[in-house]
Chain A
Amino acid sequence: LAKTTQPISMDSYEGQEVNITCSHNNIATNDYITWYQQFPSQGPRFIIQGYKTKVTNEVASLFIPADRKSSTLSLPRVSLSDTAVYYCLVKNSGNTPLVFGKGTRLSVIA
Protein backbone atom coordinates (compact mmCIF):
# COMPACT_ATOMS: atom_id res chain seq x y z
CA LEU A 1 0.00 0.00 0.00
CA ALA A 2 1.27 3.43 -0.91
CA LYS A 3 2.01 5.55 2.13
CA THR A 4 0.52 9.02 2.30
CA THR A 5 1.95 12.13 3.94
CA GLN A 6 -0.10 15.20 4.73
CA PRO A 7 0.23 18.16 7.09
CA ILE A 8 -0.74 17.41 10.67
CA SER A 9 -2.84 20.54 11.03
CA MET A 10 -4.03 23.66 9.24
CA ASP A 11 -5.87 26.79 10.27
CA SER A 12 -8.10 28.92 8.07
CA TYR A 13 -10.52 31.79 8.39
CA GLU A 14 -14.11 31.42 7.35
CA GLY A 15 -14.78 32.13 3.70
CA GLN A 16 -11.30 31.25 2.53
CA GLU A 17 -10.33 28.49 0.16
CA VAL A 18 -8.37 25.70 1.82
CA ASN A 19 -5.97 23.45 -0.04
CA ILE A 20 -4.64 20.32 1.65
CA THR A 21 -1.85 18.57 -0.19
CA CYS A 22 -1.05 14.91 0.20
CA SER A 23 2.09 13.12 -0.97
CA HIS A 24 1.91 9.53 -2.18
CA ASN A 25 5.21 8.94 -3.94
CA ASN A 26 4.78 5.17 -4.20
CA ILE A 27 1.35 5.19 -5.77
CA ALA A 28 0.80 2.24 -8.11
CA THR A 29 -0.80 2.25 -11.52
CA ASN A 30 -3.99 0.65 -10.24
CA ASP A 31 -4.33 2.94 -7.23
CA TYR A 32 -6.82 5.75 -6.94
CA ILE A 33 -6.89 8.60 -4.45
CA THR A 34 -9.72 9.14 -2.03
CA TRP A 35 -10.38 11.71 0.69
CA TYR A 36 -12.50 11.38 3.80
CA GLN A 37 -13.69 13.83 6.44
CA GLN A 38 -14.19 12.95 10.07
CA PHE A 39 -15.92 14.96 12.77
CA PRO A 40 -15.35 14.13 16.46
CA SER A 41 -17.15 10.98 17.59
CA GLN A 42 -18.38 10.17 14.09
CA GLY A 43 -17.31 7.75 11.40
CA PRO A 44 -15.38 9.05 8.39
CA ARG A 45 -17.42 10.45 5.53
CA PHE A 46 -16.49 10.22 1.86
CA ILE A 47 -15.60 13.54 0.23
CA ILE A 48 -14.11 12.88 -3.18
CA GLN A 49 -12.15 10.35 -5.20
CA GLY A 50 -10.05 10.51 -8.34
CA TYR A 51 -7.44 8.84 -10.48
CA LYS A 52 -5.89 11.68 -12.45
CA THR A 53 -6.28 15.34 -13.45
CA LYS A 54 -9.19 17.08 -11.76
CA VAL A 55 -12.39 15.95 -10.13
CA THR A 56 -15.04 18.27 -8.77
CA ASN A 57 -18.23 17.62 -6.86
CA GLU A 58 -20.61 19.73 -4.83
CA VAL A 59 -18.31 19.98 -1.82
CA ALA A 60 -14.72 19.86 -3.05
CA SER A 61 -12.25 19.61 -5.88
CA LEU A 62 -9.38 17.19 -6.20
CA PHE A 63 -6.33 18.07 -8.23
CA ILE A 64 -3.95 15.30 -9.28
CA PRO A 65 -0.82 16.12 -11.33
CA ALA A 66 0.30 13.95 -14.20
CA ASP A 67 2.83 11.98 -12.15
CA ARG A 68 0.13 11.25 -9.52
CA LYS A 69 2.70 11.42 -6.72
CA SER A 70 0.63 14.00 -4.90
CA SER A 71 -2.90 15.31 -4.78
CA THR A 72 -4.58 18.44 -3.44
CA LEU A 73 -7.98 18.61 -1.85
CA SER A 74 -9.52 22.03 -2.35
CA LEU A 75 -12.38 23.21 -0.14
CA PRO A 76 -13.95 26.44 -1.44
CA ARG A 77 -15.07 29.08 1.06
CA VAL A 78 -14.82 27.06 4.24
CA SER A 79 -17.16 27.59 7.15
CA LEU A 80 -16.86 26.75 10.84
CA SER A 81 -18.63 23.46 10.16
CA ASP A 82 -15.74 22.33 7.98
CA THR A 83 -13.56 22.00 11.09
CA ALA A 84 -12.66 18.32 11.01
CA VAL A 85 -9.90 15.84 10.29
CA TYR A 86 -9.29 15.15 6.60
CA TYR A 87 -7.73 11.89 5.50
CA CYS A 88 -6.00 11.24 2.20
CA LEU A 89 -5.90 7.57 1.24
CA VAL A 90 -4.60 5.59 -1.69
CA LYS A 91 -6.47 2.48 -2.63
CA ASN A 92 -6.58 -0.02 -5.43
CA SER A 93 -9.74 -1.62 -6.67
CA GLY A 94 -10.97 -4.66 -4.83
CA ASN A 95 -12.58 -5.32 -1.50
CA THR A 96 -9.63 -4.58 0.74
CA PRO A 97 -9.67 -2.27 3.74
CA LEU A 98 -8.79 1.39 3.76
CA VAL A 99 -5.65 2.08 5.77
CA PHE A 100 -5.76 5.48 7.41
CA GLY A 101 -2.79 7.76 7.99
CA LYS A 102 -2.67 10.52 10.56
CA GLY A 103 -4.85 12.95 8.61
CA THR A 104 -4.91 16.74 8.64
CA ARG A 105 -6.75 18.52 11.41
CA LEU A 106 -8.37 21.59 9.87
CA SER A 107 -9.51 24.34 12.19
CA VAL A 108 -11.72 27.05 10.72
CA ILE A 109 -11.72 30.29 12.65
CA ALA A 110 -14.42 32.94 12.56
Chain B
Amino acid sequence: GAVVSQHPSWVICKSGTSVKIECRSLDFQATTMFWYRQFPKQSLMLMATSNEGSKATYEQGVEKDKFLINHASLTLSTLTVTSAHPEDSSFYICGLEGRVNGYTFGSGTRLTVV
Protein backbone atom coordinates (compact mmCIF):
# COMPACT_ATOMS: atom_id res chain seq x y z
CA GLY B 1 0.00 0.00 0.00
CA ALA B 2 0.90 3.66 -0.06
CA VAL B 3 3.31 5.13 2.46
CA VAL B 4 2.02 8.14 4.36
CA SER B 5 4.17 10.41 6.48
CA GLN B 6 2.53 12.75 8.97
CA HIS B 7 4.37 15.50 10.80
CA PRO B 8 4.69 16.50 13.57
CA SER B 9 3.86 13.49 15.70
CA TRP B 10 3.03 15.73 18.62
CA VAL B 11 2.78 19.45 19.25
CA ILE B 12 1.99 21.67 22.20
CA CYS B 13 0.82 25.18 21.49
CA LYS B 14 -0.58 28.12 23.36
CA SER B 15 -4.22 28.98 23.15
CA GLY B 16 -4.89 31.40 20.29
CA THR B 17 -2.00 30.30 18.11
CA SER B 18 -2.17 28.28 14.90
CA VAL B 19 -0.70 24.89 14.22
CA LYS B 20 0.02 23.26 10.87
CA ILE B 21 0.02 19.50 10.38
CA GLU B 22 1.51 17.97 7.24
CA CYS B 23 0.52 14.77 5.53
CA ARG B 24 2.76 13.47 2.77
CA SER B 25 2.21 10.60 0.40
CA LEU B 26 5.71 9.27 -0.18
CA ASP B 27 5.14 6.86 -3.02
CA PHE B 28 1.73 7.58 -4.43
CA GLN B 29 0.13 10.54 -6.12
CA ALA B 30 -2.94 11.18 -4.07
CA THR B 31 -5.62 13.37 -5.56
CA THR B 32 -7.65 12.88 -2.41
CA MET B 33 -6.66 12.70 1.22
CA PHE B 34 -8.81 12.48 4.31
CA TRP B 35 -8.47 14.14 7.70
CA TYR B 36 -9.78 12.60 10.90
CA ARG B 37 -9.88 13.61 14.53
CA GLN B 38 -9.93 11.21 17.45
CA PHE B 39 -10.65 12.01 21.08
CA PRO B 40 -9.52 9.66 23.86
CA LYS B 41 -11.32 6.31 23.94
CA GLN B 42 -13.37 7.28 20.90
CA SER B 43 -13.36 6.31 17.26
CA LEU B 44 -11.98 8.29 14.36
CA MET B 45 -14.27 11.06 13.22
CA LEU B 46 -13.99 12.23 9.62
CA MET B 47 -13.37 15.97 9.45
CA ALA B 48 -12.85 16.67 5.78
CA THR B 49 -11.84 15.36 2.40
CA SER B 50 -8.88 17.12 0.89
CA ASN B 51 -8.87 17.45 -2.89
CA GLU B 52 -5.74 18.33 -4.84
CA GLY B 53 -6.08 21.69 -6.54
CA SER B 54 -9.54 22.45 -5.20
CA LYS B 55 -11.39 23.24 -2.00
CA ALA B 56 -11.73 20.66 0.69
CA THR B 57 -15.08 19.12 1.51
CA TYR B 58 -15.91 19.45 5.18
CA GLU B 59 -18.18 17.23 7.24
CA GLN B 60 -21.17 18.73 8.95
CA GLY B 61 -20.22 20.53 12.11
CA VAL B 62 -16.56 21.06 11.17
CA GLU B 63 -15.67 24.73 10.85
CA LYS B 64 -13.82 25.28 7.58
CA ASP B 65 -12.42 28.62 8.73
CA LYS B 66 -10.95 27.03 11.80
CA PHE B 67 -9.53 23.92 10.19
CA LEU B 68 -7.85 25.13 7.03
CA ILE B 69 -6.93 22.42 4.56
CA ASN B 70 -4.57 22.93 1.67
CA HIS B 71 -3.84 20.21 -0.88
CA ALA B 72 -1.48 22.03 -3.21
CA SER B 73 0.24 19.00 -4.70
CA LEU B 74 -0.40 15.32 -5.29
CA THR B 75 1.86 14.41 -2.40
CA LEU B 76 1.08 16.95 0.29
CA SER B 77 -1.99 17.98 2.23
CA THR B 78 -1.84 20.28 5.24
CA LEU B 79 -4.30 20.89 8.04
CA THR B 80 -3.95 24.17 9.93
CA VAL B 81 -5.78 24.54 13.21
CA THR B 82 -6.27 28.28 13.53
CA SER B 83 -6.68 30.12 16.81
CA ALA B 84 -6.43 26.85 18.68
CA HIS B 85 -8.23 26.40 21.98
CA PRO B 86 -7.98 23.65 24.59
CA GLU B 87 -11.07 21.93 23.18
CA ASP B 88 -9.15 21.44 19.92
CA SER B 89 -6.71 19.19 21.73
CA SER B 90 -7.03 15.85 20.04
CA PHE B 91 -5.32 13.24 17.89
CA TYR B 92 -5.39 14.20 14.21
CA ILE B 93 -4.89 11.54 11.52
CA CYS B 94 -4.63 11.78 7.77
CA GLY B 95 -5.24 9.00 5.30
CA LEU B 96 -5.51 8.21 1.64
CA GLU B 97 -6.63 5.40 -0.61
CA GLY B 98 -3.74 3.72 -2.36
CA ARG B 99 -3.70 1.39 -5.32
CA VAL B 100 -3.84 -1.83 -3.37
CA ASN B 101 -4.88 -2.88 0.13
CA GLY B 102 -7.25 -0.02 0.66
CA TYR B 103 -6.46 2.95 2.79
CA THR B 104 -3.22 3.95 4.45
CA PHE B 105 -3.06 6.30 7.40
CA GLY B 106 -0.43 8.55 8.84
CA SER B 107 0.92 7.93 12.30
CA GLY B 108 -1.15 10.76 13.70
CA THR B 109 -0.46 14.09 15.41
CA ARG B 110 -1.19 14.61 19.09
CA LEU B 111 -2.17 18.26 19.54
CA THR B 112 -2.27 19.73 23.02
CA VAL B 113 -3.44 23.31 23.41
CA VAL B 114 -2.54 24.95 26.71
Residues in chain A within 8 A of chain B (CB atoms)? 34, 36, 41-46, 49, 87, 91, 95-103
Contacts and interface: CB of A to CB of B under 8 A. Distances in A.
Contacts of A87: 43
A43 B107 contact: yes
B105 interface: yes
B103 A98 contact: yes
Interface residues of B, number: 26
A43 B105 contact: yes
A41 B43 contact: no
Interface stretch (B14-22, B69-77, B80-88, B89-97): B89-97
Contacts of A102: 43
B107 A101 contact: no
B44 interface: yes
Given A41-B91, A49-B101, A100-B43, A95 B108 contact: no
A41 B107 CA distance: 8
Contacts of B6: 43
Contact of B32 (A45, A49, A95, A100): A95
B34 A98 contact: yes
B49 to A, nearest CB: 6
Nearest to B57: A97
B102 A95 contact: no
B31 interface: yes
A49 B103 CA distance: 11
A60 B59 CA distance: 33
Given A44-B105, A46-B1, A95 B43 contact: no
B13 interface: no
